[in-house]
Amino acid sequence: MTGLKIGYARVSTVGQDLTAQRDGLAALGVDAERIYVDHGLTGTTRVRPGLREALAACRAGDTLVVTKLDRLARSLPDARDIVEELTTRGVRLQLGGSVHDPTDPVGRLLFNVLAMVAEFEADLIRARTREGMAVARAAGKLRGRKPKLTPGREALLVDLYRTGQKNPSDLAELFGVGRSTVYRALQRAGAGVPTAAGAAVASTAAE
């Protein structure tokens, strides 16, 4: 009896659409209920829930189908490991319209070339991302983490402290921040308060 076709699809970001891959797998004979997917996970990440489920669904005589090799793996070692696992279990791998034959020297060569290209493309993407971040940082567009308090909220916090309406602990609870954030805001405003560490020491001494 002919084995089943198990499909796997992956996109690197949650905003990307899997429709094209699903349609491609359907055209290759994979039933919709046998398609396993991963959203927002790169091919360089081996631990992927959808991939794990797809591999677990495969039985001897079945075929794991992907539209392109880079959907399955983005590194040569991972691609080889997956193929070795499938081969050991008697599961075929179909890349688009071609079924990979690990016993054929030419087939192995083509597979390795495809895996190397996928790895190279992944390296290029990482390099471009680093370059883009460096350019944005140089242009002042990347300034670290967003402040916990907006200028307006920080001004209100300082005003409540200066008028004696709230102490640092009350302010921390009111604004939903840590006391260290409150102390820093008050110090920036020149409100004459101790550091968080100094306040803790003073509090302990008072007790």
| SS3 letters across 87-131 | HHCCCEEEECCEEECCCCHHHHHHHHHHHHHHHHHHHHHHHHHHH
CATH (residue range 5-136): 3.40.50.1390
- Domain residue spans of the chain: 5-136, 151-197
12 is an active site residue: yes
Lookup: tokens for 89? 């279990």
Closest by CA position to 40, among listed 75, 79, 72, 14: 14
Q: For residues 127 and 125, what is the distance between their CA atoms, to the nearest angstrom?
A: 5
Instruction: Kindly give, in sequence order, each residue whose CB lies less than 8 Å from that of residue 1, ignoring residues fewer than 6 positions away.
Output: 61
Q: What is the pLDDT of residue 17?
A: 87
Q: What is the pLDDT of residue 61?
A: 92
Closest by CA position to 62, among listed 21, 8, 112: 8
Q: What is the pLDDT of residue 117?
A: 73
Instruction: Kindly give, in sequence order, each residue whose CB lies less than 8 Å from that of residue 152, ignoring residues fewer than 6 positions away.
Output: none
Lookup: tokens for 10? 């992956």
Q: What is the pLDDT of residue 60?
A: 93
Q: What is the pLDDT of residue 20?
A: 93
Closest by CA position to 174, among listed 195, 160, 186, 193: 160
Catalytically annotated residue among 12, 75, 180, 203:
12
Q: For residues 51 and 37, what is the distance between their CA atoms, to the nearest angstrom?
A: 7
Per-residue pLDDT 10s for the chain (207 aa) are: 478 999 999 988 877 889 999 999 999 999 999 999 998 887 677 788 999 999 999 999 999 999 998 888 888 888 888 888 998 999 999 999 888 887 777 667 777 777 777 676 767 766 777 777 676 666 666 666 677 888 888 888 898 888 888 889 889 888 888 888 999 899 888 876 655 444 443 343 333
Q: What is the pLDDT of residue 204?
A: 38
For 197, other C-beta atoms within 10 Å of its C-beta total 10
Closest by CA position to 89, among listed 57, 43, 112, 111: 57
Q: What is the pLDDT of residue 113?
A: 77
